A and B are shown apart, each in its own frame.
Chain A
Amino acid sequence: MTTSTPPVTDVTGPYTSPPPTFLERIFDRWAVKLAILIIVLIWIVPTLGVLISSFRPASLVNLNGWWTVFTDWGSNEWTFENYSTVLSSEGFGNAFLNSLSVSIPATVIPITIAAFAAYAFAWMDFPGRQWIFVVVVGLLVIPLQMSLIPLLKLYVSVDLVGTFPAVWLAHTGFGLPLAIYLLRNYIGSLPSSMMESARIDGATHFEIFTKLVVPLSVPVLASFAIFQFLWVWNDLLVALVFLGGESSVRVVTLALNDLNGSRGQAWHLLTAGAFITMALPLFVFLTLQRYFVRGLTAGSVKG
């Protein structure tokens, strides 16, 4: 790799090395593959251990390491019992539905509100348009920790603590700056000639917004939706503070944390619980990977 060979004419990719010797080529190819393989293994083995353990009976999980299923395949047994226990008696079934009830509105509400605001910032004229938008972007820096204490006091005074709307609204507030910022950038870049001709045809702002802007903004809406959904689904802090651990509202991350607190050594249950928590995000990741990546990239400016 470190030889300085004469110029090459047949370069197919940015990283094709200058023609190396035969030995170098073998080394190069295998060294790269080996390095990649080692990193990938380090990355997936912890999760693999959890997956395997969640399907092993409690007695075996506590008897020996999960890797023994590879060395001693015959003596291992498989079971779904951990999952049924965790889903019913440990309350993960309810928690899963609670998480859905939290995450879906906490995704859709900020997107709706942000989309209207972004349209107004981009295509409507009103006093203070510029500086209000600057303030909104400025709010990106505020970590949600800044809001916890006053917001909890506010919620206590209006008796909202422990209800779904409390977290919907909190997540809406925390997600709005990023949502408005991203959507404003995108919606503002739509061609103005298109807007003008729509207006000449007599379309109102509301019609332009619903029939033109929203359909055209699907990619950015999807990216933000995935980002926000996963963010809310995976959140522990906001749920812990504003929703609490009542079984009627408890979300999966909190359920897993509780299980860890109450039965921290029941690894057959903890592993199954962990997998239930991860199932939906992983599904979203595998099916919507492209939007997912874009959303995370855009999410680099979330406070």
Chain B
Amino acid sequence: MATDTELKVEPDLPPQPPDEPSGLSTQALRLGVSLVVPVLAGLGLYYAGTILLNEDSNRAVVVVMALLVGVLGVFGLYYGMDWVINQLPERFRSKVRPFAFVGPAIVILGIFLLYPTIVTIQLSFQDRAGEGFVGFDNYVRLFTDSSTLIAVRNSIAWVIIVPAFAVGIGLIFAVLSDRLGRKTEALSKSFIFMPMAISFVGASIVWKFVYNFRPEGFGEQIGLLNGIWTALGNDPVAWLLQEPWNNFYLMVILIWLQTGFAMVILSAAIKSVPEDIIEAARIDGANEYKVFTRVVLPSIASSLVVVLTTVIITVWKVFDIVFVMTSGEFGTSVVAERMVTEFFTFRDSGLGAALAVVLLVAIIPLMILNVRRFQEQEATR
């Protein structure tokens, strides 16, 4: 029943009074346009994908097609949909159009995040095959079984040690490099920041080479660390097998990757501390140390929190480094890596899902904090 006959020439920009209960046909149209793009895109992508797979011979064609599908395909669908809406009777247009814009995103989020999250929570209360209900058994196992307990223990150690070092070194470097000339500062910061561009897998290989070990009598050491170690007169060490220290050697990789991030954000924060406040402190007789702890540090506290929470979240979800370096053996497994192993290697979807839920629960408060900070930042921009 489209009783709302007042002619609106497209919706007005200042917020309109809340919609009156709209007709069934309007709702159906809204639902329809929300679904059209994802469904068509899904089908299109599916067929494009099968074509791409058959096109083994010419890889350049594949890349170009992928580019076309990605760039033009989806945009084309929106364009087509807008055209369709323009063919609708006038009174429907303004009510349906927003759903053509926002609907696809909502549908995709529903399929790829909301629905899986609900299923994963449900699976975490079911047995390994995902059939019978087992209550909190998986969680009990998670926190009593020695193999998962090691993963939890290690993850907690990662979450404490990596952010402490990454943020600590990042802060020191930000403060020190601030005293250099502009060009030297930019250059030296680039070097620290560069690992941020590298994949965790690539970084793992880089460091696996550093930790490389050859037993005595099997040739010269080609790993840097053993090279230095033996040059100092020691016997070569299989670093990655030294429990529990091997955990720390793996953490070094993530520290190496994340310090640049901490440094860049903190450096920007330090530079934005107003000079007159610092000058005033100096005039009052504060020495450099006091200026730093009493003036600079409190001013960058909010950035410090953002950096810490962000690094903690990254560390908490670390998977690739452990997977590539040790596959979680030798007492090095962590929660995110364990989750994949339990599900894909041991085919235990119950425990795998429970581990995923543990990941989620720990992230929620940190993420809320981060989004709040970000919101404040944007508000004052």
Does B261 lie within 8 Å of A61, measured CB to CB?
no
Chain B: minimal CB distance from A20 (Å): 10
Does A108 lie within 8 Å of B71, measured CB to CB?
yes
- Taken together as a complex, chains A and B put the C-alpha atoms of A32 and B82 apart, in Å, by 60
Does B50 lie within 8 Å of A230, measured CB to CB?
no
Given known A149-B343, A199-B10, contact A116–B286 (CB-CB < 8 A): no
A36 touches B (CB below 8 Å): yes
Q: How many A-B residue pairs have CB under 8 A?
A: 390
Q: Which of B135-143, B145-153, B156-164, B202-210 contacts A (4 or more CB under 8 A)?
A: B202-210
Given known A105-B69, A205-B97, A236-B199, contact A49–B210 (CB-CB < 8 A): yes
B300 touches A (CB below 8 Å): no
Does B53 lie within 8 Å of A163, measured CB to CB?
yes
Does B202 lie within 8 Å of A230, measured CB to CB?
no
Which listed residue (A113, A172, A256) contacts B201, Cβ 8 A?
A256
Does B173 lie within 8 Å of A64, measured CB to CB?
no
Chain B: minimal CB distance from A133 (Å): 9
Interface residues on B, range: 35 or more
Chain A: minimal CB distance from B40 (Å): 13
Does A116 lie within 8 Å of B102, measured CB to CB?
yes
Residues on the B chain within 8 Å of A49, using CB: 206, 209-210, 224
- Taken together as a complex, chains A and B put the C-alpha atoms of A278 and B196 apart, in Å, by 11
Does B320 lie within 8 Å of A143, measured CB to CB?
no
Residues on the A chain within 8 Å of B32, using CB: none
B246 touches A (CB below 8 Å): no
Does A53 lie within 8 Å of B209, measured CB to CB?
yes
Does B60 lie within 8 Å of A199, measured CB to CB?
no
Residues on the B chain within 8 Å of A141, using CB: 360, 363-364, 367-368
- Taken together as a complex, chains A and B put the C-alpha atoms of A271 and B210 apart, in Å, by 11
Does B11 lie within 8 Å of A125, measured CB to CB?
yes
Which listed residue (B190, B207, B340) contacts A46, Cβ 8 A?
B207
Does B343 lie within 8 Å of A148, measured CB to CB?
yes
Does B112 lie within 8 Å of A124, measured CB to CB?
no
| A contacts, CB < 8 Å to B | 1-4, 6-8, 11, 13-15, 17-18, 28, 32-33, 35-36, 39-40, 43-47, 49-50, 53, 61-67, 93-94, 97, 100-102, 104-109, 112-114, 116-117, 119-121, 123-127, 129, 132, 136-137, 139-143, 145-151, 154, 160, 163-166, 168-170, 172-174, 176-177, 180-181, 185, 189, 192, 195-196, 199, 204-206, 209, 230, 233-237, 241, 248-249, 253, 256-257, 260, 267, 270-271, 273-274, 277-278, 281-282, 284-285, 289, 292-293, 296-297, 300-301, 303
